[in-house]
Amino acid sequence: MPMVGFPLLLIPIAIYNMIVFLMPGVTMVEPIAKLTLMSGAEWPLTLSDMLLALAIVLLMFEVIKGARPGAKYLTDHLLSLIVFGAAAAEFVQWSRFGNSTFFLLALLALVDFLSGIALRTRRGKMAADAGAGHRNMAQTATEPQFEPAPAPAPAAAPAVQAAASVAEAVLLDRPEPKFMPAAEVTPGGPSPQVFSPGLQPVDGFLPSTDSPPR
């Protein structure tokens, strides 16, 4: 069961409040220890430096926690905003909190809130893009794929036109039949003669039909 995330930046702010209210004689700028570096220089370590270092490390964990998918809910961002609002109010209203150390702590709380909002917005956008991609893939898989119909073979138009041209030329070159006018027969005139051997009368005598011609 998911639980509401605890705002980690509340820890250094709470420690600062305990020091201010419960230990009024403790100052934040007095060196607690001195560390000698390899260069030979001494680094005075104060309580404010330790609180700021702790706050930076906890902010890193907050960002890592917020970068995980579904890690932060709206209530987590609301709690981070409440922590920043309380720190800003203490910095403005109370003189014991009006210093650079507490200002930086309040600023880190603001960064925690803004980074959580930015990560949530980006995560929502990525989820929406992923959902759109899955829907497009599903639609592509369910839609039937139709192959385009083969293009019809071009008709033999040149050959047909050539054959029609040849037929038309043959019909135009063929001579039309000529009909001769019939011979006119004049009444009372000589009858037309038909030249048939053996049938045409010669000088008014018809050949005999009794004996065949020799």
- What whole-number distance in Å separates Cα of residue 129 and Cα of residue 124? 9
Predicted confidence pLDDT, tens digits, the chain (214 residues): 344 578 899 999 999 999 999 988 888 888 888 999 999 899 999 999 999 999 999 999 988 887 776 555 778 888 899 999 999 999 999 998 999 999 999 999 999 999 888 887 876 666 566 666 556 666 665 655 555 556 655 554 555 566 666 666 656 655 555 555 554 445 555 555 554 555 555 444 445 555 455 4
- What whole-number distance in Å separates Cα of residue 152 and Cα of residue 43? 90
Q: Please state whether the predicted TM-score (pTM) of the whole model is above 0.75.
A: no
Phi first, then psi, for residue 174 (nearest 5°) are -70, 125
Which pLDDT belongs to residue 41? 92
Which pLDDT belongs to residue 169? 64
Element holding 47 (H helix, E strand): helix 47-67
Beta strand spans in the chain (E) = 31-36, 42-46
- What whole-number distance in Å separates Cα of residue 31 and Cα of residue 29? 6
CB count in 10 Å sphere of residue 12: 26
At 104 the three-state DSSP class reads helix
Phi first, then psi, for residue 101 (nearest 5°) are -65, -50
Q: Return the half-sphere exposure (C-beta side, CA atoms, 13 A cut-off) of residue 124.
A: 9
Which pLDDT belongs to residue 156? 47
At 126 the three-state DSSP class reads helix
Q: Parse the chain into domains and list their residue ranges.
A: 10-142
- What whole-number distance in Å separates Cα of residue 76 and Cα of residue 8? 11
The strand pairing partners of 45, in sequence order, are: 33
Phi first, then psi, for residue 70 (nearest 5°) are 70, 20
